[in-house]
Structure 1
Amino acid sequence: MGREVSGRLVVVVLGLPALFCYLLLGTTTTLHHHPPPTEQSSHSPPTVGSCPTCGLNFIVVSDAPEGDLDDLWWADWDEVQRSRRAALYFECHHVRKTRLKSLSKLVNARRYLYNLLVDDRHKAIYCYVPKVACTNWKRLMMILSGRTNETNPLNISSHIPHEEGVLTRLSGTRIKSSVLRYKLRMYTKFLIVRHPLERLVSAYRNKLVKNSTSAADFKRRYGVSIMKKYRKGVSAQNISKSGHGITFPEFVNYLVETGQDSLQSLNEHWAPYVDLCHPCTIKYNIIGKYETLDEDSEYILRKIGAPHDLHFPPLVASRTASLVADHMASLTQELSQKLYNLYKFDFKLFEYDYPNL
């Protein structure tokens, strides 16, 4: 009798994993992550799962209504935004007061709002940051604000969105202070950031290394003077008048010294986020990141009520991230520390790590 009972217990114990897998396979599962709710992604594709207890693989299929899946996606991204805003507001309490500008100063000294573009149609304000997908987002702002008849952002030449007067800036003197305050308070405000070092290396390569018309101008404006000051053992007469050949350590030395004197004198392509967009004074509703650019851009467009067929252009993969380590290795530890100090608040406010510190 005892052996019979023991035998039954063994059968039950061995059968539990199989029962678990059966119940798992028979349960309808709603996926937690899925593509943004666009016309092209109305259903979530099946994914492969596994049962660690029984060693079986199975297909997870969701039969939840499309609207439910969309709601789940928006809920996920709303939570992502809440987390980013919370981290930003927490770190803002640790930023030196001398580094911050009050709302009154921003309103009265409009030059500080130069990078903030406004779309009155959708009641949206975008703070653009060079080297963080700003060309495509400026194209979108042109379409959103009715500054072009184009409906496909890629049909707009890349130089046009950067031309003065194409988009409305909050720095415009014609905007009354009361209206400006209202827009800063009530409009949907967003910015997009990127790992500060990745952005810096991208700006260095694009403006001081590449052979392009834009780079040639930057080399003449910055490269020549930087090499004359920081290139050791070479006379000024032997410095190329084209400004070509500036090294990354020379560029960083220039940034560190110039930033110590006056952060406002740094070009917008390498000025810190905290000085371009004033995230501790202006309460941004949406914080986008280059690492999740597709999802963040879709979220922004849908939140501001953009046309349903307007989407961020397909993202072209960047290789800059793979180049950061080599560029940083060319710096001394002392220079690396000074570079971190210059962009410290960008790292902290937007939750980015700095290597070797």
Structure 2
Amino acid sequence: MGVSREYLIFSVATIASATFVILTIYSGMEKHEKDRVLQPRITMSQRSNDHFLQNCPATQALRRHTQRHGCSSLGFSDKETYKLNKIITNPSYLRNIYVSERYRTIICLIPKATSMNWVRTLMILEGAINSTNGLAPQEIVHAAKKHLRVLGQYKPDKRLGILRNYSSAIFVRNPYSRLLSAFRDRLEKYPNRNLSHRKWFNKNIYLKFGNHSPAEMPDRSMPSEKYNVTFKEFVDFYLSVKKTQDVHWREQYKVCPPCFDYDYIGNVETYADDFKQTVQIFDATSKVPLVKAPHATNSSEDGVLRRYYETLSDLQMKKLEKLLSSDMKLFGYSIPRAIQRNSF
């Protein structure tokens, strides 16, 4: 039996229409899958530790709002750099995001923002040690490499799953006190402490940024760690560096993902309270002692801040304000009252 021309046309049109619909659906699914990779993690109610996360204090709502607003105003939220699939390839982020599979939790640690305190705490939580008392900083670092894992140690697909599904925290600090703490801890003269940084930086900073008379200039053969650098000289060095800074004084938003959807944003300034609440993310029943490093620089105290920052010129302070502004906006900080200047 013959087939009419009209029927053939109708059949072809029907097949073409169906094919178009299928391709459209497939394209939409493919786009959705691509978008899903770039979206924040699953909602809080779907993750573990709901009993704590749904009852975060009001300060957390404010900190998270400040972070989101800062990301938006700085244009970070729209940049590919801060999407999940870029986070899992950023070397700095991969080194500083610590992973606890035991508690399905991650915490991004920023040097000079209680990072060593948290490294000690994590080893206790993971059951690697019972106490960090009596352990020197280098011993802690060595033990952490053995017992703790960072995001960079996982394969990319696993990293993505961790970012989406694990609970998370970050600790941040006022950029001005953190910068001073980095100087005092790493470059200022401390007996038997952190000679590596003095070896790397002090001689160059002293010779390039110091304003010394010929009589004050030491023998050039003197080892770098013997050079004593002032805070003013260090700030000039810090302001002059165009490439990546050392992680101890690199801006915080360059150390940890600034626009990640953290469940808890802790502040050094309220460390005791924030520590207790963050430990609950790992395990609400754990009774982990408040861990504090034995060699604090006390760089958040008004008197200490004033003593160092009063040596800086108004121009240095203005340049610092500009350089530190991103961290200030993201994490809700302002210039400490003790070092504010009327001329600004």
Counterpart contact for 1:117–1:168, Cα < 8 Å: yes
| Alpha-carbon distance in 1 for matches of 2:55, 2:165 | 24
Instruction: Give 2:316's match in structure 1, choosing from 335, 340, 350.
Output: 335
Counterpart contact for 1:87–1:350, Cα < 8 Å: yes
Deviation at 1:153, TM superposition (A): 3.8
Are residues 1:81 and 2:81 paired? no
| Alpha-carbon distance in 2 for matches of 1:76, 1:329 | 42
Instruction: Give 1:220's match in structure 2, choosing from 196, 199, 210.
Output: 199
Counterpart contact for 1:114–1:169, Cα < 8 Å: yes
Instruction: Give 2:248's match in structure 1, choosing from 247, 269, 276.
Output: 269
Partner AA of 1:256 in structure 2: L
Instruction: Give 1:196's match in structure 2, choosing from 175, 178, 183.
Output: 175
| Structure 1 counterpart of 2:112 | 131
Partner AA of 2:100 in structure 1: D
| Alpha-carbon distance in 2 for matches of 1:237, 1:157 | 32
Matches within 5 A, 1:103-182: 103-146=84-127, 148=128, 150-154=129-133, 156-163=135-142, 165-166=145-146, 167-172=148-153, 175-182=154-161
Instruction: Give 2:231's match in structure 1, choosing from 248, 259, 262.
Output: 248
Are residues 1:302 and 2:283 paired? no
Partner AA of 2:103 in structure 1: H
**Structure 1 pair 110/248, CA: closer, same or farther in 2 (3 Å)?**
closer
SS at match of 1:84: helix
- Greater helix proportion: 2
Instruction: Give 2:265's match in structure 1, choosing from 276, 283, 287.
Output: 287
Deviation track 1:259-297 (CA, whole Å, cap 9, x = no partner) reads xx12xx2111101110001121x2111011112111111
Partner AA of 1:310 in structure 2: V
Structure 1 vs Structure 2 CA RMSD? 2.7
Deviation track 1:305-345 (CA, whole Å, cap 9, x = no partner) reads 15532232368786322211221111111111111222111
| Alpha-carbon distance in 1 for matches of 2:80, 2:212 | 37
| Alpha-carbon distance in 2 for matches of 1:189, 1:74 | 10
Q: TM-score, normalised by structure 2?
A: 0.72
Q: 5+ unaligned residues in a row in structure 1: which ranges? A: 1-72
**Identity across aligned pairs (percent)?**
24
Deviation at 1:76, TM superposition (A): 7.9
How many pairs were matched up?
276
**Structure 1 pair 191/154, CA: closer, same or farther in 2 (3 Å)?**
farther
**Structure 1 pair 352/135, CA: closer, same or farther in 2 (3 Å)?**
same
Deviation track 1:141-171 (CA, whole Å, cap 9, x = no partner) reads 112224x1x3234365433332362321112
Counterpart contact for 2:125–2:288, Cα < 8 Å: no
Counterpart contact for 2:179–2:249, Cα < 8 Å: yes
Deviation at 1:105, TM superposition (A): 2.3
Partner AA of 2:118 in structure 1: W
Counterpart contact for 1:129–1:273, Cα < 8 Å: yes
Q: 5+ unaligned residues in a row in structure 2: which ranges? A: 1-51
Q: TM-score, normalised by structure 1?
A: 0.70
**Structure 1 pair 314/343, CA: closer, same or farther in 2 (3 Å)?**
closer
Instruction: Give 2:240's match in structure 1, choosing from 257, 261, 269.
Output: 257
**Structure 1 pair 329/79, CA: closer, same or farther in 2 (3 Å)?**
same
Deviation track 1:121-144 (CA, whole Å, cap 9, x = no partner) reads 001111111222222210111122
Counterpart contact for 1:100–1:278, Cα < 8 Å: no
SS at match of 1:189: strand
Matches within 5 A, 1:311-322: 311-313=289-291, 319-320=298-299, 321=301, 322=303
| Alpha-carbon distance in 2 for matches of 1:309, 1:138 | 16
